[in-house]
Amino acid sequence: MPVTIKPSAHAASTYNAQPRRHKSVSSAERLLQHTLADDNENTSSRPKKIIKSTYTELSSNFPPSFSSKNGFVHACIEAYNQHLHLHIRPEDVWFAILTQLSIYVNANAEELRHIFVSHEGQKKLEILDDTLGLDYTKWDHGELAYRMTKLIAGAIHDPEWRDWILPQFSTTTKVDQAVASVIFMGTLQNYFTYAWGTRCGLPSVTLLGTVQDWRRIRDKCKSHLPLLGRQCREWLSVLEPALDGFVQSFKEPESEKTVSFWQHIVNVHLPNGSGTTTYSGWITSFCYWNEDGACLHPSKNALAHDTKLKYNELPIGFTKVPVNLLLGLTVIPVEIVAGSLSFRASDSTKAPGTGGQHSRLDTLQPETGWIMYET
C-alpha cells in the first residue's frame, strides 16, 4: 500500500505555474518542442512531425501537464518551493537512476565496452516483421522497443542487465516497460544501431507502489552499479541515503527521521544581492552527471548538502536514441525520446483525471512516456 509522509504542518498551496520554466502543453508536439528547446542541436535536426506517442491525452483541459526536461526532479523542486503535495511512483525514481546511468555509460562508452560487448564499433540489431504492415504510424513502437531489448540481451556479455533495467514494480505499466526499453537502447547506442520494420509485406509525499518495489530499486542499484567502475560506486554511495529513505518512509512514515529526510529533499540557496539561486539536498543525488557525463558532485555526499546546482544545470531525465524504420527498401530515420518528460498538476480532493478550470491545483506528479519523431 502507498504511504503518505507529512514533512510540514502547513496546508498545501495552489500551484503557481512558471511559464518561463515549464509551459502548459496540450499536445505531444508542443511537449516535444518545449522539452527539447534547450537541446544543443542545430535547427535542421529539429523534429518534423510526431509519428507516435504515449502522450495522447494531453489537452487544454484539466488536469494540465507542464513541459520539463526532467519531470521528476523539477516536480520535486516545484512542490517543495510552493508547498504542494507530491506523488512519486517507483518508476519515477528508477527512471531518474537509469537516465543518469545512460549519460555515464555514453560518456565513457569505450572504457566500459568490455563490460557489455566484445565487438568494436556498432553492431546492427534489426527486427523484421512482415505482419506490421506498411503504415508505420500504426505500429506498436513501444512493443517493438521492448522486443529490441531481447536482441540486446542476446548480444551482450550478461543478458541479466535487461532484467535489471526493465521495471517490474507493482505500479509498472506497459508504457513504463517501453520507456525502460528505450532507455536501455539509448544507454548502449555506442555499441549497437537499431532498426525495425518490414522489408516486404514503445504538502505530502505519497510513495506509490509497495515497500517491496522500493527495496527492489535499492537492491538493483547495490547489485549492479558497482560493476561499472569507480564513478558508479561513488554515485551509489550518494544514492544510498535517498534509496534507504524511501524504504524507511514505508516502515516509519511519521517518525522524526522520516520527516527530516523529506524536509531535506531540496535546500534553496538564495543569492546575496546579485547572483543565481541554487539548489542542494538529496534530490541532487539524481543529478550526479550532466549531459556530457561530467560529475556534478565534488564531495560525493548528497546528504552533506554541499552540491549546489543552478536550475539550468539540472541534467535531463530522458534519453534519445536513433532508430531506422524499414519500409521495403526505404529507410526512414527517426528518433525516440523516452523518460521523465513532464509532470502533471492535479486537485488532491478530486479523483485522478477529473477537475475543471476552477480546480485547485495542489499536487504534482512526474509523468513518464516516449515520443517518436522524424529527423
Q: What is the pLDDT of residues 241-261, one digit of tens each?
A: 999 999 999 999 999 999 999
pLDDT tens per residue across span 314-353: 999 999 999 999 998 899 999 999 999 999 998 888 766 5
Separation CA 185–CA 141 (nearest Å):
13
Q: Are 78 and 359 in contact (CB under 8 A)?
A: no
Separation CA 363–CA 88 (nearest Å):
11
* Paired sense of beta strands 267-269 and 65-67, if any: unpaired
Q: Which residue has the higher pLDDT, 35 or 165?
A: 165
Give the Cβ contact number of residue 219 at 10 Å.
13
Q: Are 137 and 51 in contact (CB under 8 A)?
A: yes
State pTM to two decimals: 0.79
Q: Are 282 and 303 in contact (CB under 8 A)?
A: yes
Cell triple for 99:
537516465
Q: How many residues does the chain have?
A: 375
Q: Are 368 and 91 in contact (CB under 8 A)?
A: yes
Mean residue pLDDT of the chain comes to 88
Which alpha helices (DSSP H) does the chain contain, by range? Answer: 28-35, 71-82, 90-107, 109-116, 141-155, 160-165, 174-187, 211-224, 230-251, 256-263
Show the CA angle centred on residue 318, arms to residues 80 and 283, nearest 5°. 30
Strand partners for 4: 206
- Over residues 295-305, the mean pLDDT reads 67
Separation CA 347–CA 332 (nearest Å):
42
Q: Are 127 and 147 in contact (CB under 8 A)?
A: yes
Query: Does position 36 have pLDDT exceeding 80, yes or no?
Result: no
